[in-house]
Each structure stands twice: as C-alpha cells, then as structure tokens.
C-alpha cells in the first residue's frame, strides 16, 4: 500500500530523494524504505477507525496496526522500490522481493487471526488489501490502480474502515465518515507530495524571479518551491500520529 517531513529550511540541499531519506547504504536504506513519516501517518487512520467502536479493544487495534505496518510500511514500499529505485537504495531486488512476500504473508496471517477473534467477514478486507498492495505498487493492469483516487481509497479510507471493522465485525456511519475524512487527508498528502517528489527526484535545477508591486525583484530556486509543501507534510505527519496516540490513550487508560 505506498503508503505513509524535516524542517522547512529552504537552504536544505535537494540531493535526497525524500526529506526523511538517509545517506544510501546499510541499515539506512531500510529506514528510508519504510517511509517512516508517511507510514506513521497512514497508521493513524487505523486508530481513527478503531476509535469509532463503543468499547475500544487495545489488543485488536494493536493487531490491526501490525498488519498494516507489514502490508504497507514494509511490503508496499519494498515493491514500490523495485520499480525504478525511486528512493535510490542499494537493497538487492532479491531482498526486496523476499521482504515484501514475507511481510504480506505476515499481514495476511494477522488478518486470519483477526477473523478467528472477531468475524470471518474480515476475509474480503484481507483479499482487497493483498490485491491493492500488489496492483498499486507494481502498477498492474496498465497502472489502472496507480492513481490519486486509488491512493486515497487504499491508503486513506481502507485503513480506517479496517480499523473499525476489526474492533466489532461491523461498520457504522461514524466509521464511514472517518473513512471519507482519511481519504481526503490522503488526497491532500498526494497533492503536496507529488510536486515535492518531482522536484527532489527529477528536476536538475530551478531558477526564477519574483517581481513585486514596488518593482523589487527576488530570485528563487528549487528549495523555495518545495519548502512550504514539505513543511506542511512534516507537520501533518507529526500531528496525526500524535493525535491518534492521544485519543487512543484517553480511551484505554
């Protein structure tokens, strides 16, 4: 599921493929591969969905979080890196395939265990999750599922709905409303991250001039273009997990 920012310093060099990317090589590649801020962002949707349950079960929420961490945080991002190496990691194709398949297997196993604990109607969620991770990140069917709309559904609405269903085996209007909100947040993430990603990974240089109403001019470069969007991404990627953790703690403690 490709899935889930630094400070807004406009003097920051743009050599990294993502603001959270570390220097390539070794364990640093695995950190970068996980897309930590965006993975945490997506996991917060699972919590928001779970919180719609009248009685929050912390164990079931934990299992659901683990499933999405494996399915999206690990598997989806490993499959995405196989296509063109967007994060410029040095992890071998074999290692990426191995990790992706093991993580998907683990996510599916957790889903089956959840079905045993709550409801076997969780199976359609498992099937859809496995399908969308593979279809989206490997751009199957001519890339039909690799779109902004499917990004919002797969990494926004779906985690929230699954988080809700995994609590009680049912869905409510409250859960549907949360899912729509999470889909909209994912759309906003996509709107901000797409131009930032293009600037960091594809653009060799930017030079422009701002002309003010008083006639003064000011030059700007690539950092000034991506700075505000990245600052918004960083802030939201920190705020949403903190919000989810605070709300969950308030229900569990």
State phi, psi for 204 to the nearest 5 degrees.
-80, -30
CB 21 within 8 A of CB 143: no
Residue with token string 């959270």: 20
Maximum Cα–Cα distance across the chain: 70
Q: CA 23 to CA 20: how far, in whole Å?
A: 10
As given in the structure block, the two tokens for residue 4 are 């889930």
Strands (DSSP E) contained in the chain are 208-211, 217-220
Q: What pLDDT shows up at residue 189? A: 97
Q: What pLDDT shows up at residue 205? A: 86
Q: CA 78 to CA 76: how far, in whole Å?
A: 5
What's the length of the chain?
A: 253
Q: What pLDDT shows up at residue 204? A: 86
Q: Which of 139, 166, 146 is nearest to 45 (CA)?
A: 166
Residue with token string 């265990």: 113
Our CA angle for 147, 149, 152, nearest 5°, is 110
Q: What pLDDT shows up at residue 253? A: 87
Enumerate residue ranges in the chain where pLDDT < 70.
1-14
CB 62 within 8 A of CB 163: no
Q: What pLDDT shows up at residue 1? A: 44
Q: What pLDDT shows up at residue 15? A: 80
Please give the torsion angle defined by the CA atoms of residues 161, 163, 165 and 167, in that order, rounded to the nearest 10 degrees. -160
Strands (DSSP E) contained in 57-198 are none
What is the per-residue DSSP string for 40-103?
HHHHHHHHHHHTTSSS--HHHHHHHHHHHIIIIIIIIHHHHHHTT-TT-----HHHHHHHHHHH
């Amino acid at each position: 599921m490709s899935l889930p920012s630094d400070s807004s310093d406009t003097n920051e060099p743009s050599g990294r493929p993502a603001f959270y990317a570390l220097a390539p090589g070794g364990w640093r590649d695995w950190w970068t591969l996980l897309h930590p801020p965006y993975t945490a962002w997506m996991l917060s949707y699972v919590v928001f969905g779970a919180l719609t349950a009248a009685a929050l079960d912390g164990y079931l929420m934990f299992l659901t979080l683990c499933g999405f961490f494996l399915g999206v945080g690990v598997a989806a991002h490993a499959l995405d890196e196989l296509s063109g190496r967007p994060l410029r990691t040095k992890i071998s194709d074999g290692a990426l395939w191995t990790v992706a398949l093991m993580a998907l297997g683990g996510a599916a196993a957790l889903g089956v265990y959840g079905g045993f604990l709550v409801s076997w109607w969780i199976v359609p969620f498992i099937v859809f999750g496995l399908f969308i991770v593979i279809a989206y990140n490997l751009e199957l069917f001519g890339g039909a599922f690799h779109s902004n709309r499917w990004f919002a559904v797969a990494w926004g609405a779906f985690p929230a709905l699954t988080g809700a269903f995994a609590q009680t085996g049912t869905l409510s209007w409250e859960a549907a409303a949360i899912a729509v909100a999470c889909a909209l947040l994912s759309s906003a993430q996509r709107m901000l991250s797409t131009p930032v990603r293009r600037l960091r990974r594809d653009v060799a240089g930017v030079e422009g001039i701002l002309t003010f109403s008083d006639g003064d001019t000011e030059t700007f470069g690539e950092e000034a273009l991506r700075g505000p969007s990245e600052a918004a991404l960083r802030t939201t990627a920190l705020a949403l997990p903190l919000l989810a953790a605070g709300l969950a703690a308030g229900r569990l403690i």
